[in-house]
């Protein structure tokens, strides 16, 4: 993610605080079915899955008791009424015996839930959709959850006041979910620890374009509606999913290295975006040289006209921009494909592993394209006084979810990498970056693992360097 410069106000009023439990006719019927089936009685050893993944910054994000293999999302959106109708078919497997489990879903109305084809009892508790399957799920069992839902999505307001999730625009919706917003438009295990493949089928009125990540597999128009099918076959964290809708001009081509590029651009941003979008093949090649093979089979950009959003996000394979981006922003979001998307966080506290790396990629781009060196960028920021916000907290300890997108994560995070490079030399430094990207590809990583890898590759004790830059309050002394 990268905030727009100059910063725009990201504060928005909170949406209605209490979300009422929805008990419609369908829900009541399902509840009766579940009760008369008598299957919801707990089997010995089977409990309820936890309502969160245990992330200290977002305790209710994600859920316990199962992992998801695939999301099949069938969506219809009408920009005129802002109504979204959805059906999510989730393939998962139980990591414990489950009498009940949760999905994360905020707002919207659930019409019905089925587990393995049988109607399931469900309730809403805040952002938790609590599901009791008719039959208790055994540990290790594969199962399928089918959720029908709809309504006008409400964007999620994050602890720092910024909007995310399904954000309506004047011609559709800007959809970007970091860190929590996925739950505003589909039910999920909403934490980067649980990555899965996705397929999207998005129906919009003809004339609109619906853009998700991955590869466009079909586009079909009938009776005034167009359905776009997208497939994301590599594991993806829920916050990196998008289903952005708008009136877009589409550019499609294949790079010399064989990667299909799909750009969707709001005509109002076309002229401003053209210079940066034209560099996508160069940026892909350059980052591949530095970081190793591009982890995905598609690339591109979604350039929307949504200036109130205030940021761009590295939605997987196809970053989304709220306005025409400059080259540095595209370099940043594309670097996230390696650092953040392919190699994901284990805990939101480690967000510097995403943002420090993407910011450092911008510094490297400048260094190798006629701008200042990364060391000069370091020196520039290091000159800031100890009272500056840059030194407000150490990079790997933002303290809470309200500070995960602040400059100590981005700039001080990038400075940490420059310090590492300075300590181990270019050869070891770039080996560390490539080994990190390769070794944790399509998975997750922790700061401790990155520190251990850096020491292993360089053969140096880097404990003090990382302790100072990542975990010690205040402006670090000159080494």
Q: Enumerate binding residues for Zn ion (CB under 5 A).
A: 1-2, 355, 358
Q: Is 463 left (phi over 0), alpha (psi -120 to 50) or beta?
A: alpha
Which value, to the nearest 10 degrees, does the dihedral of the CA atoms of residues 421, 423, 428, 432 take?
-60
Question: Is the separation of the CB atoms in 336 and 316 below 8 Å?
Answer: no
Instruction: Write out the two tokens for 80.
Output: 């005129």
Residue 49, burial from CB neighbour count under 10 angstroms (0-12, 13-18, 19+): buried
Cis preceding-peptide flag for 247 (omega within 30 of 0): no
CB of 106 or CB of 242, closer to Zn ion: 242
CB of 277 to Zn ion, least distance (A): 18
CB of 358 to Zn ion, least distance (A): 4
CB of 332 to Zn ion, least distance (A): 6
Which value, to the nearest 10 degrees, does the dihedral of the CA atoms of residues 378, 330, 353, 197 take?
-170
Residue 349, burial from CB neighbour count under 10 angstroms (0-12, 13-18, 19+): buried
CA atoms within 13 A on the CB side of 258: 4
* Pairwise CA distance, residues 395 & 393, whole Å: 7
CB of 86 or CB of 319, closer to Zn ion: 319
CB of 73 or CB of 331, closer to Zn ion: 331
The secondary structure of 45-63, three-state, reads CCEECCCCCCCCCCCCCCC
* Pairwise CA distance, residues 86 & 175, whole Å: 15
CB of 285 to Zn ion, least distance (A): 21
Backbone angles phi, psi at 158, to 5 degrees: -80, 165
CB of 325 to Zn ion, least distance (A): 12
CB of 353 to Zn ion, least distance (A): 11
Query: Could you give the angle at the alpha carbon of 427 between the alpha carbons of 421 and 432, nearest 5°?
Result: 65
CB of 312 or CB of 457, closer to Zn ion: 312
CB of 153 or CB of 319, closer to Zn ion: 319
CB of 130 or CB of 358, closer to Zn ion: 358
CB of 351 to Zn ion, least distance (A): 9
CB of 315 or CB of 346, closer to Zn ion: 315
CB of 369 to Zn ion, least distance (A): 19
CB of 357 to Zn ion, least distance (A): 9
Residue 281, burial from CB neighbour count under 10 angstroms (0-12, 13-18, 19+): middle
Instruction: Write out the two tokens for 263.
Output: 């750009």
CB of 432 to Zn ion, least distance (A): 20
CB of 7 or CB of 117, closer to Zn ion: 7
CB of 134 or CB of 415, closer to Zn ion: 415
* Pairwise CA distance, residues 93 & 73, whole Å: 18
Q: Which H helix or E strand runs over 280?
A: helix 280-291
CB of 90 or CB of 312, closer to Zn ion: 312
| DSSP β-ladder status, 260-265 and 249-254 | antiparallel
């Amino acid at each position: 993610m990268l905030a727009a410069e100059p910063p725009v106000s990201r504060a928005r009023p909170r949406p209605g605080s209490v979300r009422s439990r929805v008990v419609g006719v369908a829900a009541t019927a399902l509840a009766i079915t579940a009760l008369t089936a008598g299957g919801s009685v707990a089997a010995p050893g089977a409990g309820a899955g936890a309502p969160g993944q245990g992330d200290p910054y977002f305790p209710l994000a994600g859920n316990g008791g199962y992992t998801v293999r695939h999301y099949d999302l069938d969506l219809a959106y009408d920009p005129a009424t802002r109504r979204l109708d959805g059906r999510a078919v989730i393939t998962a497997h139980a990591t414990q015996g489950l009498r009940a489990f949760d999905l994360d879903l905020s707002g919207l109305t659930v019409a019905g839930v089925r587990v393995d084809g049988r109607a399931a009892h469900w309730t809403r508790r805040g952002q938790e959709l609590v599901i009791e399957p008719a039959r208790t799920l055994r540990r290790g069992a594969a199962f399928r959850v089918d959720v029908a839902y709809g309504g006008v999505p409400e964007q999620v307001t994050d602890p720092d006041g910024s909007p995310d999730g399904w954000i309506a625009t004047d011609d559709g919706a800007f959809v970007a979910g970091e860190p929590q917003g996925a739950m505003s438009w589909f039910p999920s295990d909403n934490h980067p620890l649980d990555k899965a493949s996705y397929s999207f089928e998005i129906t919009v009125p003809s004339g609109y374009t619906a853009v998700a990540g991955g590869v466009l597999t079909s586009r079909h128009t009938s009776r005034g509606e167009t359905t776009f099918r997208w497939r994301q076959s590599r594991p993806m964290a829920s916050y990196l999913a998008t289903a952005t809708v708008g009136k877009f001009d589409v550019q499609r081509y294949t790079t010399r290295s064989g990667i299909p590029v799909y750009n969707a651009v709001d005509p109002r941003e076309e002229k401003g975006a053209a210079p940066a979008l034209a560099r996508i093949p160069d940026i892909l090649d350059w980052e591949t040289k530095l970081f190793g093979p591009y982890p995905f089979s598609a690339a591109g950009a979604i350039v929307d006209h949504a200036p109130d959003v205030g940021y761009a996000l590295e939605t997987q394979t196809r970053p989304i921009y709220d306005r025409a981006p400059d080259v540095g922003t595209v370099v940043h979001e594309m670097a996230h494909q390696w650092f953040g998307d392919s190699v994901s966080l284990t805990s939101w506290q480690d967000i510097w592993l995403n943002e420090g790396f993407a910011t450092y990629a911008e510094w490297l781009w400048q260094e190798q394209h006629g701008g200042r060196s990364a060391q000069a960028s370091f020196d520039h920021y290091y000159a800031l006084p100890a009272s500056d916000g840059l030194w407000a907290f150490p990079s790997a300890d933002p303290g809470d979810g309200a500070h995960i997108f602040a400059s100590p994560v981005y700039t001080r995070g990038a400075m940490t990498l420059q310090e590492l490079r300075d300590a181990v030399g270019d050869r070891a430094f770039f080996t560390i970056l490539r080994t990190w990207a390769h070794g944790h590809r399509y998975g997750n990583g922790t700061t401790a693992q990155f520190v251990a890898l850096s020491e292993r590759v360089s053969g140096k004790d880097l404990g003090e360097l990382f302790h100072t830059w990542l975990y010690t309050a205040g402006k670090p002394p000159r080494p």
